[in-house]
Structure 1
Amino acid sequence: MPPAAPAPGYPFSAVVGMDDLKLALLINAVSPGVGGVLVRGEKGTAKSTIVRALAALLPPVPAVPGCRFSCAPAAPDPGCPDGPHDTGAGGHERPARLVELPVGASEDRLTGSLDIERALTEGVTAFEPGLLAAAHRGVLYVDEVNLLHDHLVDLLLDAAAMGESHVEREGVSVRHAARFLLVGTMNPEEGELRPQLLDRFGLTVEVAATRDPAERAEVVRRRLRFEDDPAAFAAGWTDAEAGLAARIAAARDRLPRVELTDAALRQITAVCASFEVDGLRADLVTARAAIALAAWHDRRSVTADDVRTAARLALPHRRRRDPFDAPGLDAEKLDRILDEYADQDPPEGAPEDPADPDGRGGTNGTDGTGEADGTDGSDGADGADRPDGPDDDGPGDGPGGGPGGGGAPHPEAPGEPTGTDGSAPSAPDEERGGGESAESEPAPADAAYKPRLFTVPGIGAGAPGRRSKARSPYGRVSGARPGARGLHLTATLRAAAPHQSARGRDGTGLVVRPGDLRETVRDGREGNLVLFVVDASGSMAARARMRAVKGAVLSLLLDAYQRRDKVGLITFRGAAAELALPPTSSVEAGARRLERLPTGGRTPLSAGLLRAADVLRVERLRDPARRPLLVVVTDGRATHGPDPSAAAAHLHGVASVVVDCESGPVRLGLAAALGARLAAEVVRLEELAADSLAGLVRTARPAA
């Protein structure tokens, strides 16, 4: 009985709305050299559905028969592991592939590895291709790409940059072509993407569910019809799908004949220079996308509209200066630049400077009009909404890694009235029992800087990350032990070798018993749960000090983002503590909550510690393998509630760090006393930035 035909997928043409996403995918279908698409959006917006539907529209791929690496018959890869190929026999056509990379895939599944079955039974070294080989000349799709493990991200970066995959493992040395259209989807609420991988996506699109009731009704209507009878629904869209596929094929044929005029090229470079994107990849991607758009619309040359659309899709994600900047592009500024450079020829013999078109010598960061690039947009895409503006050079840009080049924050600014202990003038009223002081306006944060690295002691086994030591399936091989998970081939063969005579080996293959199996032991790094407990009471309300505190927490949040941690934020003020941010991988959400953090009132330090203990207890049940790191940011005062000593006992065994925010000529040492109760490392606020010893790892002491 022949196998049943697979159920048809949801047609690309049947997706309601999503015009930008459809256009970005079609641009890449016409010109795969654009570099793929990153689809950002909330859950339930048909991101995966529309990406999977794209493969059915792609032209068939001519391939050498029997080649596992999809070599083209007209130009086979001379280094193909299945070669050399006899191109005289011609080739065959197969459908374009959509290869899905699961978030939890192993390294050998992605790149390929030694064929263990043939190695053990035939005694030969044979390579078994992985997903990169299967995706060659097709589409590699990564759902939830922001959750992809770092070791897989590194492999993807190498393959995307070189167009080939190098495999050096288990006695196998193989190189094969791996050129693919990379498409990823992600929900920003679950965490951001590493900047290196973000830049590898040619285009990016933000998607959201429509708020139009009529459109939503049509989406539901079509989906229900598809689920009732997929074949009949797909048949109703056959003509539309065939028309799209034919238009893609025709646009591919026209692509080499599309002219990129000098005027259009100047517009592209002027836009990229004025928006201050890093490197030249943005210029190349924008040019390729504009050419593809012209071919798609059956135009002989690139127009300003093509450049505008290409820039709108290619530049937003490249303008981010740190993970807390939202991607975006100012449409008015884009139009102004395109109009300024429309049909404009540079003076003969004069060097062209797109960032300074009028020759007025505008400073770096301006568009030649005297206005900084970040001040004319409302979306904050280039950091314009950050309170420190030009002084914010990002993490680690100052000479000492700290803000302003000083290597550490300054808790007090000249001219700020403070008490003898550095607290705000309202603090004495708080201590006299006068009730909560008036809530002050949220203070902006100082510039972020590179903080010290704090780790959890011991060796864990949590989710892969870059903070604490861990036994990980993705780290450096450090040995082998009995077991069958993650087979260590060399150690297994070494264990079986001495027993071959006794087992009656006849010379054709190795006789392996279950007791010979050895599994790989790897030393890697894990991500932790970093829980911030921040004092927002009146004793911290001196505006300059709160700026420094927010800058410190922002720096630690940025560090947590880079190390793939989950983060949570508890604040305490008045009479209670609040879980401002439940533990999440979205560090960006933590930064937003921190920005709006108000201050004022009494200091319920015990409430903050007890709330932290409760949150950690719940998270331990949800994810027992993820070890916590508690970061308490306070001056140590406790003017409301019971003695913090009893609350600290509930945090026994939790690796902790106390950031001492006390300042002024007279210090009471209350934060240091709290650190002693928590068995925590105590770091003064001005010492938090990494200094010349930034390479050293500072380890939080375990609680006794």
Structure 2
Amino acid sequence: MPVQYPFSAVVGSDDMTLALALTAIDPLIGGVLIRGEKGTAKTTTVRGLAEVLPPVAVYEGDRFSIDPHDPDEVSPDGPFGPDTDIVTRPVRLVELPTGAGDDRVTGTLQLNKALREGVVEFEPGLLARAHRGLLYVDEINLLPDHLVDLLLDAAATGRVSVERDGLSIEHAARFVLIGTMNPEEGELRPQLLDRFGLTVEVTAPRDPGIRAEVVRRRLAFDTDPVGFAARWESEQHALRERLAAARDLVGAVVLDDATLTTITEICAAFDVDGLRADLVTARAAAAHAAWQGRTHITRDDVRTAARLALPHRRRRNPFDEPGLDEERLDELLGPEDPEPDGPGPDGPGGGADGQDTADAGDGASSATPPSGPSASKEQSEPDESSPSPATSSTTSVAAAGRPGRAPLFVVRGTGEGQSGRRSRARTPQGAVIGPRRDGGGRGRLHLAGTIAAAAPHQRLRGGFTDGRGLIVTPDDLRRAETLGRESNLVLLCVDASGSMAARRRMEQVKTAVLSLLLDAYRRRDKVALVTFRQHSAEVTLPPTNSVDVASRRLADLPAGGRTPLAEGLECSAELLRREALRDPTRRPLLVVVTDGRATSGADPLGRAHTMARHLAATGVDSVVVDCETGRFRMGLAVRLADHLRAEHIPLGEVTADGLTGVVRSATAPRREVA
């Protein structure tokens, strides 16, 4: 096995190492979610944790790793008698790839033995392998929905049931779930977010001295991994001893009524949902006390536990800022303990004075600066009449309103994109509509289709003679063809010029975009925004499903000036071309919000219509939202829709509800198109 970077050598990430240590002391805390920017040693730290955990005892040859000392645990490989050898092995760190299928996660029939030996045998999945260990999911926010559902079921019940291909298997699956994610790549579903006991925000340290030490240690490890690990072995050994001692001590930690009342008062004051926060905070406080070598819980234990257990449970929707008001927390905790409990052992999260050194690190409450639509600053509003030299040079910045719930819209046809909750598509999970050829062995086995494919060849193969049954070859294998839902790319191309009553219109458009993005977050979509004004167009919001990034980008979106419609369409076409190369299975929908005018450059209207015909030739589904107002209308948006072969929606004034409703009405009639 490759040498892992020592857990005790991690520096500058005190909250992360402390949270991992606490959940290792008491796995019932429920795991850790590590949110942070790229390059902050998230994966390195998680992999190093397994190296310092105490080994586990298992029956030799038991693929399900049940505890020999727990009479309630039963293994499908059992029963095991008193003569079965008991061995110890290191704790497993099982990594769940985001592209894994449900067969790989929960287990499936061993096809080789079934075909060659006629033996029906279950092949355990990753959840069985992770039992009594660590299950690590990197980029967990990108995990497909069906895998998220499997994790939720296993985390809630501690067991996995497999009913598939003639198999009926149930086994234990209790594990510490550790996930890492970059918030810029999208948020996590609320159901899975709440399953994590603790969460930490990790950023690169700003202290040059700490940064230099991080680089120094990493360079030394890359130069000589074995030698570097050997130099840290004494610290690793001390950390193993401390974790083992804390595990033995945590059951003796006393949670008195006064401390429990304080914990519940804090959770109620911060208005967290449910009672899981109270339970997790109490368990984390007890684990922190054991980590410090104490059998009673102090104010500092409760404060540390609340900082790690509550921030991610306070968010009502993805636009809410993460974090915790630590001044408010200190008010609820009351005055500090009159006397320190004594020096605590050194290690991750524990300083020589017994205080939690994580407080000096990058805490969750300070990880994200204030941002969002409310941070924008309004400037002068241009004249809402047709553009003039005076208004062409005027720029305004409008704030978005609070986003609403966008109606469901779909893209016509049947796609083959990533699993989501939007348009109809052939996906790994969904309703079975028939068999298909094996195609590389992905997906569920279609038993009836396999038998039907093998049946005509039995006379030549000698099947059903001399005591032999059905003879199946690999060419006969059929997989289940399933119909589910996919995620899509919604690209809004928005006129931000002075001819559109810019400030009021942009308020509504921003609100609509945020509404669509919030809906995309729930349905695993991507949303992008192209705006055009003055003499050019730009990608204001690259394709993303991160609501945090979207709110920051949209906050200072300016409006005013001339109308370069051709440039806006050209920029949209280029973005769609790049996205098609990057992800050819994700189908787009283009929504152009404009009054159809073009006033920038030579022959602006002709160039715009030429670009529209080019876009139509690519086959992209399009909608034109006609924002022309006034008594006398030129009908330019109608002509643009004809060139785009798009649905034309006359809308005098774009509102958030109107725009999201338009997207639905333009696509809903296409839902049943094959």
Q: Which TM-score bucket, shorter chain as reference?
A: 0.7 to 0.9
1-structure distance, mates of 2:500, 2:297? 58
For the pair 1:688 / 2:658, whether they are aligned, the reply is: yes
Instruction: Label 1:58 to 1:122 Cα distance change in 2 as closer, same or farther (>3 A).
Output: same
Give how far 1:540 is off. 3.4
SS in structure 2 opposite 1:428?
coil
Is 2:297 aligned against 1:339? no
Q: TM-score, normalised by structure 1?
A: 0.83
Q: Choose from 461, 473, 477 the match for 2:432.
A: 477
Q: Please give the secondary structure, in 2, of the residue aligned with 1:204.
A: strand
- Matched with 1:657 is 623
Number of aligned pairs?
629
Does structure 1 residue 36 correspond to structure 2 residue 36? no
Matched, 1:201 2:193: no
Paired with 1:499 and 1:125, the residues of 2 have a C-alpha distance of 22
Q: Is it true that 1:10 corresponds to 2:5 in the alignment?
A: yes
State which of 550, 559, 574 in structure 1 corresponds to 2:534.
Answer: 574
For residues 137 and 380 of structure 1, the distance between their equivalents in structure 2, rounded to whole angstroms, comes to: 32
Q: Counterpart amino acid of 1:476? A: A
Q: Quick one: which amino acid aligns to residue 654 of structure 1?
A: V
**Aligned partners of 1:24 and 1:313 also within 8 Å:** yes
> Take 1:425 and 1:211, find their aligned partners in 2: how far apart are those partners?
42
Could you state the TM-score of these two structures normalised by the residue count of structure 2?
0.86
Question: In the alignment, is residue 426 of structure 1 matched against residue 383 of structure 2?
Answer: yes
Deviations 1:176-209 (A, max 9, x none): 1111000011112222211111111111111122
Correspondence 1:583 to 2:543: yes
Could you give the per-residue CA deviations for residues 152-189 of structure 1, whole angstroms, max 9, x where no partner exists? 11101111111111112112121111110000111122
Letter in 2 for 1:675: A
Cα distance in 2 between the residues matched to 1:497 and 1:40 = 53
Aligned-partner Cα distance in 1 for 2:132–2:58: 10
When residues 542 and 484 of structure 1 are mapped into structure 2, their CA distance, relative to the original with a 3 A threshold, is: closer
Structure 1, 572-581 or 675-684: larger mean CA deviation: 675-684
CA distance 1:448–1:67, change in 2 (3 Å): same
Unpaired runs of 5+ residues, structure 2, are 339-363
**1:563 matches 2:535:** no
Matches within 5 A, 1:168-567: 168-339=163-334, 387=374, 426-428=383-385, 430=387, 432-434=388-390, 436-440=392-396, 442-485=397-440, 486=442, 487-505=445-463, 506-508=466-468, 510-541=470-501, 543-567=503-527
Give the C-alpha shift of residue 507 in structure 1. Answer: 3.3
* Secondary structure of 1:650's aligned partner: helix
Residues 558-616 of structure 1: per-residue CA shift (max 9 Å, x gap): 12222222332211112221111233343432222112111212222222112111221
Deviation per CA, 1:402-426, whole angstroms, max 9, x where unpaired? xxxxxxxxxxxxxxx9xxxxxx761
Q: Output one character per residue of 1:629-669: Cα deviation in whole Å (capped at 9) or x when no partner.
A: 11222344434351132221121121123344456777665
Quick one: which amino acid aligns to residue 461 of structure 1?
A: E
Partner of 1:129: 124
Cα 1:98–1:335 shift into 2, 3 Å = same
State the alpha-carbon separation in 1 of the partners of residues 27 and 370 from structure 2.
32
In 2, Cα distance between equivalents of 1:199 and 1:517: 40
After superposition, residues 148-163 of structure 1 pair within 5 angstroms as 148-163=143-158
Matched, 1:104 2:133: no
CA contact (8 A) 1:266 1:341 kept: no
Q: CA deviation at 1:670?
A: 4.8
CA contact (8 A) 2:289 2:297 kept: yes
Distance 2:238 2:367 in 1: 40
Query: Would you say the 8 A contact 2:490–2:526 is kept in 1?
Result: yes
Contact 2:322/2:365 (<8 A) preserved: no
Look up the match of 1:698: 668
2: CA distance between counterparts of 1:536 and 1:560?
23
Q: 2:541 aligns to what SS in structure 1? A: strand
Of stretches 598-607 and 78-87 in structure 1, the one that deviates more from structure 2 is 78-87
SS in structure 1 of the partner of residue 98 of structure 2? coil
Q: Which residue of 1 aligns with 2:358?
A: none
For structure 1, which runs of at least 5 residues remain unmatched after alignment?
1-5, 344-376, 389-416, 418-423
Contact 2:417-2:425 at 8 Å conserved across structures: yes
Take 1:87 and 1:669, find their aligned partners in 2: how far apart are those partners?
87
1:412-460 Cα distance to aligned partner (Å, 9 max, x none): xxxxx9xxxxxx7613361x454614212x2221221122223222222
| Residue in structure 1 matching 2:579, options 615, 619, 625 | 619
Q: Shift of residue 621 of structure 1?
A: 2.5
In the alignment, does 2:86 pair up with 1:91? yes
- Maintained 8 Å contact 2:420/2:487: yes
Contact 1:657/1:700 (<8 A) preserved: no
Q: CA deviation at 1:383?
A: 9.5
2:299, 2:336 within 8 Å by CA — same for their partners in 1? no
Task: Give a deviation string over 1:17-75, Cα, whole Å, max 9, x none.
Answer: 21111100000111111111111111121111110010111111122333221111122
User: Shift in Å at residue 257 of structure 1?
Assistant: 1.0
Amino acid at match of 1:170: D
User: Relative to structure 1, is the Cα distance of residues 701 and 124 closer, same or farther in structure 2, using a 3 angstrom cutoff?
Assistant: closer
Once residues 580 and 384 of structure 1 are traced to their aligned partners in structure 2, the CA distance between those partners, rounded to angstroms, is: 16
Query: Whole-Å Cα distance in 1 between the matches of residues 90 and 665 of structure 2?
Result: 51
Change beyond 3 A, Cα 1:380–1:189: closer
1:694–1:335 CA distance, 2 compared to 1 (3 A): farther
Q: Secondary structure at the match of 1:96?
A: coil
Q: 1:378 to 1:134 in 2, by over 3 A?
A: closer
Q: Distance in 2 between matches of 1:596 and 1:124?
A: 65
Does the residue aligned with 1:602 lie in a helix, a strand or coil?
coil
Contact 1:252 1:295 in 2 (8 A): yes
Measure, in 1, the Cα distance between the counterparts of 2:140 and 2:65: 25
- Residue matched to 1:363: none
Distance 1:483 1:318, change over 3 A: same
Alpha carbons of 1:699 and 1:269: their partners in 2 closer, same or farther (altered >3 Å)? farther
Residue 597 (str. 1) matches residue 576 (str. 2): no
Map Cα deviations across residues 489-511 of structure 1 (whole Å, 9 max, x no partner).
43122311332232123434643
